[in-house]
Structure 1
Amino acid sequence: MLADAVFSESYRFLRNRAAVFWSTLFFPVLALLLGVAGQYFLKQKMGDLKDADLPPELLRQMAAPDIDLGLALVELASKAANPLLILFVMIGAATLYAGDYRWETWRLISARNTRWNLILGKVGVAKLLSLAAVLLLIAFGFVGKLIEGAIFERGFAFTFGGEQAGQFFLSLLVAYIRVVQVTLIGLLAAIFTRSLLATLFVPLVVSIGQFFLAALIMPQIGWQDTDWYAQALAPNLSADTLIAFIGDNPGGPTAVTAWLAGASLIGWCLVTLGLALWWFQRQDLSKE
C-alpha cells in the first residue's frame, strides 16, 4: 500500500541524520547567523555615522520605524523558494531517489510493494521534506526579525488581517510547489541515470539554465513574460509571476498571466512525475 511505502521511506530517511540536517536545518540556521552578523555590522556603521556630527534631520531619517512582524511573515513566505534552499533540499531528495540505486537495494524492496507505490512513497517523503525546509526557513527568518528589533532597539507591530493571511498562505504554497517541482526533476534524473550525483546536479543545472533563459535570452529574442511559451519553458518565471500576482502590486501580472503561470508550474510537476513513473515501470531492477 502507498501508506506503507510512505512510512517505510520516512523511517529510512529520518535515520539518516546527516541528510536530514543538511537538507532542512543547515541553510535556515546559516541564513539566520549571517543575517544577525550583518545587522550587528550595520548597527556599528550607523553608530560611526552618528558620531560624525550629522545634521539632526539626517539622523531622524536613519532611524528605522517599528518592525511589522505580520508583513515580515508575508515577505519571508514570498522569498521562501530560495535557490540556495533548493540546493540543500536536493541533498535529501537525491538520497531518497537515488539511494536504492547507489546501494543496489531495489531488488530487495521491489517485491514488497507495487512500483508506483514505491516511487510515490519516495515522492511523498520528498514533499514533506520540502515543506519542512520551507517552514523552517520562514521560522528562522522570523526569529531573525525579532533579533533585528532587539539589536536596533525597535518596537514591533503585527499587521496580519485577512488580506495578509491570504498572501502568506498563497505565497507559501507557491514556494512549496516550486521546491517540489525541482525535486521531481531529480526523481526523473535518478531513474534515467541511476546516479546519485546526476540526481543532485541535473536539477540544479536545469534550474540555472532556466534562470538565464528567463533573465537574459527571452528579452533578447523578444519574448515577453506574459507569453504562454515563456511561462511554459521557465517554471522559475512562473513562480515569480505568481508571487508578484499574490502581492497585488500596481502594474503586476494580470489574472490571465497568473493562471498561465500556475498551469506551467503544476504541469512541470505532473509531466516529470508521469515520465518518471512510466520509465520506472519499464526498468529492469534485477541487478539494482
Structure 2
Amino acid sequence: MLADAIRSESWRLTRNRTVLSWSLIFVPVVMLVGTIGGAVFDSRVERMAEQLPPQLTAANGVLDLGAALVSAAGQLANPGLLAFLLIGAATIFAGDYRWETWRLITARNSRANLIMGKAGAVKLMTLTGLLLFLAAALIGAVAKGLILDRDLVFGFGAEQARSFGLLFLLAYVRVIQFLLLSLLAATLTRSLLAALFVPLVVGVAQELLVTATPLLGWSSVDWQTQLLFPGVAYETLKAAILGGVPAAVLHEGVAWRAAASLALWSFLPFGLSLWWFSRQDLSKE
C-alpha cells in the first residue's frame, strides 16, 4: 500500500509539467547557460591576451572533469536548488488541501501511508533534481573545456569517489530536511502558500540569526549552534568531508553534533506532520 501511495503521488507530479519544469529543469538549465556564457567570455579574454608578450600569458591547462564533478556535488544544496525544488514539494504536500481531494483518497489507503507516500515522491523528485544538476555541471564543464581549448581528463580515484559519494549523500539529506518543513507547514495550515513560503522564511531567518551567535558567546561548533541551525550543521559536515575542519575539532565530536542536528530537523517535522495529520478532520477537504 505504501508503494501504491508513492506511485500515485509520483504519477500526479509527472502530469504537472509546469511544476516539473520549474522544480527540476530551470536551475540546471540556468547553471548550464551561465557556465557556457562564462566560458565564451573567458575565451574572448584569452584571445585578447594572445596579443600580449608570451611571458605575460598563461599556457592552456587541463580541465579535470572528475574534480568538476566533486565540486558540483559540494554545491548541490545551494539556495537556488532548494527554492525551486520547494515548488514541487509544496505542490505534493499541499495539493490535496488546495483542491479538496483528501476525502476522496483517505478511504483508499491509511493516513500514515498517504503521508509517507508524499514524502517518498518528494525524495524521488529530489534525487532526480540533484542528478540533473550534476549532469548539467558535467556538460557545462565539457563545453567549457571545448570552448577554452583545454585538454579534458577524468581523474576520479578512490579519494574523489569517496568525497563525491559523501557530498552527494549529505546534500540529499540537507535538501530533504529543508523540504520536510513544507510538509509540516502544509499539514498545520492546510495552505499551499504556507507550504511554499514558510520554509523560505525559516531558512532566511536562520541565516540572519546565525550571524548573531557571536554576540551570545556561541561558536560554530557548539551544541546549541549546531542544533538550532541545520544550515551550519550541513556546512560543518561538508567542510569535514573536504578536509576543512581541523582534526582536533573533529575529535571534540562536532561531526556528531552536526549529524544529530540534521537528523533532528528531519525526523521532528515529519513526525509532527504524521501525528497531526492522523488526527485531522478531513471530511471537508
TM-score range relative to shorter protein:
over 0.9
Tell me which residue corresponds to 2:95.
99
- Secondary structure of 1:112 counterpart: coil
Cα deviation 1:15-65 (Å, max 9, x = unaligned)? 1111111111111011100121122112223333443x3x433312xx352
Whether 2:151 is the aligned partner of 1:162: answer no
Query: How far is 1:250 from its partner?
Result: 6.3
Partner of 1:196: 192
Counterpart-to-counterpart distance in 2, 1:109 and 1:164: 46
Task: Give the equivalent residue in structure 2 for 1:20.
Answer: 20
Equivalence map 1:222-261=2 (5 Å): 222-249=217-244, 251=246, 254=250, 256-261=253-258
- TM-score, length-normalised on structure 2? 0.95
Q: Does 1:127 align with 2:126?
A: no
Report the Cα distance in structure 2 between the residues aligned to 1:218 and 1:56, rounded to whole angstroms: 51
Q: Which runs of 5+ in 2 are unaligned?
A: none
Task: Write the distance in 2 (CA, Å) between the matches of 1:14 and 1:161.
Answer: 36
How far did 1:171 drift? 0.2
How is 1:184-223 mapped onto 2 (pairs within 5 angstroms)? 184-214=180-210, 216-223=211-218
Q: Which residue of 2 is the match for residue 146 of structure 1? A: 142
Letter in 2 for 1:186: S
Query: Mean Cα displacement is larger for which, 116-125 or 31-40?
Result: 31-40
**Match of residue 56 from structure 2:** 58
How many angstroms does 1:135 deviate by?
1.1
- Bigger Cα displacement from structure 2, 39-48 vs 15-24: 39-48
Q: Quote how far apart the aligned CAs of 1:272 are.
A: 0.6
Q: CA deviation at 1:112?
A: 0.8
Q: Do the aligned residues in 1 keep the contact of 2:163 with 2:241 (CA within 8 Å)?
A: yes
Counterpart residue number, 1:279: 276
CA offsets per residue over residues 171-219 of structure 1, 9 Å max, x none?
Answer: 00010111111110000000111111111111011111112222x1123
Q: Give the aligned residue type for 1:37.
A: G
- For residues 134-167 of structure 1, give each alpha carbon's deviation from its aligned partner in whole angstroms, at most 9, with x where no partner exists: 1111110011100110111000222211111111
User: For 1:58 and 1:264, how far apart are their aligned partners in 2?
Assistant: 50
SS in 1 for 2:273: helix
- Structure 1 runs of 4+ with >2 Å offset: 45-51, 55-58, 219-222, 249-253
Q: Which residue of 2 aligns with 1:48?
A: 48
Distance 1:64 1:199, change over 3 A: farther
Q: 1:75 aligns with which of 71, 74, 79?
A: 71
SS at match of 1:153: coil
| Aligned counterpart, 1:37 | 37
Q: Contact 2:239/2:245 (CA < 8 Å) preserved in 1? A: no
Between 1:155-164 and 1:144-153, the stretch displaced more is 155-164
- Give the counterpart letter for 2:279 in structure 1: R
User: Cα deviations across residues 46-100 of structure 1 (Å, max 9, x unaligned)?
Assistant: 333443x3x433312xx35201111111111011111100111011001100100
Q: TM-score, normalised by structure 1?
A: 0.94
How big is the alpha-carbon RMSD for the aligned residues of Structure 1 and Structure 2? Answer: 1.4
1: CA distance between counterparts of 2:81 and 2:32?
13
Change (3 A) 1:207 1:279: same
Unmatched tracts of structure 1, length 5 or more: none
